[in-house]
């Protein structure tokens, strides 16, 4: 795989996380395709569209306080104009007065188009701490 492609995708994912963690929700537009799909952990609810995706980040930050978010590993596989990324993370957050420490994997499918790489599909899977 081309090292610059990998670095570009890695930068995109880190930029996305930095934007939502910093409350810069308008910046999230540049990371997601208009018709992005999010599948809730466990395969239940599906969320469709860029605005719904960005709103989910906004709702989380309005309801929870994130004390720490660590990216613990990132793997990217590229297949021509499609990439699959898995980002392992640890998060420490507080919701309704209760503190949680969780680990998980953020799975992202990206597509390369006229404007560069965009996330087209996303889900998260919790892992054991």
Cβ-based burial of 71 (10 A; exposed 0-12, middle 13-18, buried ≥19): middle
CATH number at residue 27: 3.10.450.50
pLDDT tens digits, one per residue of 1-34: 467 888 899 999 999 999 999 999 999 999 999 9
Q: What is the pTM of this model?
A: 0.92
The C-alpha atoms of residue 77 and residue 82 are separated, in whole angstroms, by 9
Which residue stretches of 22-88 are H helix? 50-63
105: tokens are 């994997």
Strand arrangement of the beta sheet that strand 64-79 belongs to = 46-48, 32-39, 116-127, 98-113, 82-95, 64-79
Q: What angle do CA 109, 110, 111 make, to 5 degrees?
A: 130
Partners of 102 in beta bridges: 91
pLDDT tens digits, one per residue of 78-126: 999 999 999 999 999 999 999 999 999 999 999 999 989 999 999 999 9
CB 100 within 8 A of CB 5: no
DSSP assignment letter at 114 = T
The total domain count for the chain is 1
Q: Give residue 115's domain range.
A: 3-127
Q: Look at residue 128 and tell me whether its pLDDT is greater than 80.
A: no
Cβ-based burial of 39 (10 A; exposed 0-12, middle 13-18, buried ≥19): middle
């Amino acid at each position: 795989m081309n090292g610059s492609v990998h670095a570009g995708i890695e930068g995109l994912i880190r930029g996305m996380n930095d934007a939502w963690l910093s409350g810069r929700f308008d910046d999230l537009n540049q990371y997601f395709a208009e018709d992005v799909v999010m599948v809730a952990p466990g395969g239940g609810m599906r969320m469709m569209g860029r605005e719904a995706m960005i709103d989910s980040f906004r709702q989380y930050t309005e309801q929870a306080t994130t004390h720490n978010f660590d990216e613990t590993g990132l793997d990217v596989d590229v297949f021509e104009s499609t990439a699959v990324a898995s980002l392992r993370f640890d998060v420490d957050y507080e919701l309704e007065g209760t503190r949680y420490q969780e680990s998980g994997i953020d799975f992202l499918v990206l597509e390369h188009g006229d404007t560069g790489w965009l996330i087209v599909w996303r889900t998260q899977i919790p892992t054991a701490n």
